[in-house]
Copies of this chain bind each other. A is one copy, B any other.
Amino acid sequence: MAKQRKKEGLPPGSIVFTGDQKVDKVLIHYLKYNEEQLEEQSFHSHDNIIFPEAAIEVVDWYDMRGLHNTTLIESLGKSFNIHALILEDIADTNQRPKYEEYEKGNFISIKALFFDKEEVTVKTEQISIYFNQGLLLSFQEDETDIFAAVRQRLELGRGRIRQRGADYLAYALIDNIVDNYYQVINEVEAVIELLEDQLLSDPGNNLKGKIHHLKKELLIIRKSILPLREAISQFAKSDSPFIEDRTTIFVRDIYDHTVQVMDMIETYRDMLNGLQDLYLSEISFKMNQVMQVLAVVTTIFVPISFLAGLYGMNFENIPELKAKNGYFILLAVMLMIVLFLLYYFKRKKWF
């Protein structure tokens, strides 16, 4: 979870990539649009690219995939006047989700979540978004096109997205990621229900490991979403000049969604704890049953075995052995003992 931070000892604002390089070359997807027109471009970046100044009346969206090229990030920072601490945060993939306002633009760091059904594992991908008047930069580590839906809406001109500014685009991107949380949440719930069914039918050995594993995954999800709630709340309450009032109401909507997702995560944690308690009850109950069977069998056979042993002794003078019906009387006595014990255990509800 917490990979080695390589920057120790470096001055603040040093751009150090802390993740694993997942792409060969940084892919930049560039989109420039306003209500009337839309221009799209996609290219692998050189190291020292010069970015044109943002035009008035359009929104420029640079969607960068790949973070290992710190020289590129630096030149980006220079082109668009981005604060050094933001550049540092973009390259550091172990960022806590947060929202920060700087003089020249606003920055939001957020985790996209993916649920791997096979391994019941959550994977996180850090998304950084920087925007101001007419400019939006988004950063991610690998090449998956997680903003495909938003891009399509832009291309088709559906909804109000083409008529709004970069702040609305930022909202749309975050909304896209948060919407995806619901899918992760649904998968988690499905796994919990599966575990519960298994537990009730047959509490086998590996169930406790699975419950433990899912609890750990939930901790990771929680750690990714909990700070986001506060970040979005700051976004919604912001009076930054780069955010229009009519956008705020939509951000408030995302806030509601993160709160709901957190509610569910807490509910799932409670459920998993409940499952674990149930597992322990199940084990205890089963052990109790096993012990009762053992105790009943032992208690019934030990006394009559003793009697059999008694009359297996080789003393020369054991009068009973010579009695004609001794054997049959003893059998009767044994039967009575057994019946009495069975009755006794039945009353004690031991079986």
Contacts and interface: CB of A to CB of B under 8 A. Distances in A.
A81 interface: no
A324 B317 contact: yes
A49 to B, nearest CB: 25
A327 interface: yes
A84 B297 CA distance: 71
A5 B276 CA distance: 29
Contact of A256 (B96, B159, B275, B287): B96
A329 B279 CA distance: 46
A125 interface: no
A175 B150 CA distance: 39
A266 B182 CA distance: 25
Interface in A134-192: 148-150, 152-153, 158-161, 172, 175-176, 179-180, 182-183, 185-186, 189
Interface residues of A, number: 111
Number of this chain's copies in the complex: 5
A42 interface: no
Contacts of A267: 1, 219, 223
B306 A180 contact: no
A216 interface: yes
A12 B294 contact: no
A292 interface: yes
B312 A327 contact: no
Contacts of A176: 9
A346 interface: no
A241 interface: no
Nearest to A175: B12
Interface string A299-319: 101111110111111111110
B219 A209 contact: no
A2 B186 contact: yes
Contacts of A4: 182, 186
A85 interface: yes
Contacts of A291: 287, 290-291, 294-295
A239 interface: no
Interface string A69-85: 00000000000000101
With a 10 A CB-CB cut-off, give which of A102, A180, A313, A330 has the most chain B CB atoms: A313
Nearest to A259: B96
Interface stretch (A30-38, A52-60, A114-122, A200-208): A200-208
A212 interface: yes
A27 interface: no
B285 A288 contact: no
Contact of A7 (B179, B278, B306): B179
Contacts of A160: 11, 13
A249 interface: yes
Interface of A: 1-5, 7-14, 83, 85, 96, 98, 102, 148-150, 152-153, 158-161, 172, 175-176, 179-180, 182-183, 185-186, 189, 200, 202, 205, 208-209, 212, 215-216, 219, 223, 226-227, 249-250, 253, 256, 259-260, 263-264, 267, 270-271, 274-288, 290-295, 297-299, 301-306, 308-318, 320-322, 324-327, 330, 349-350
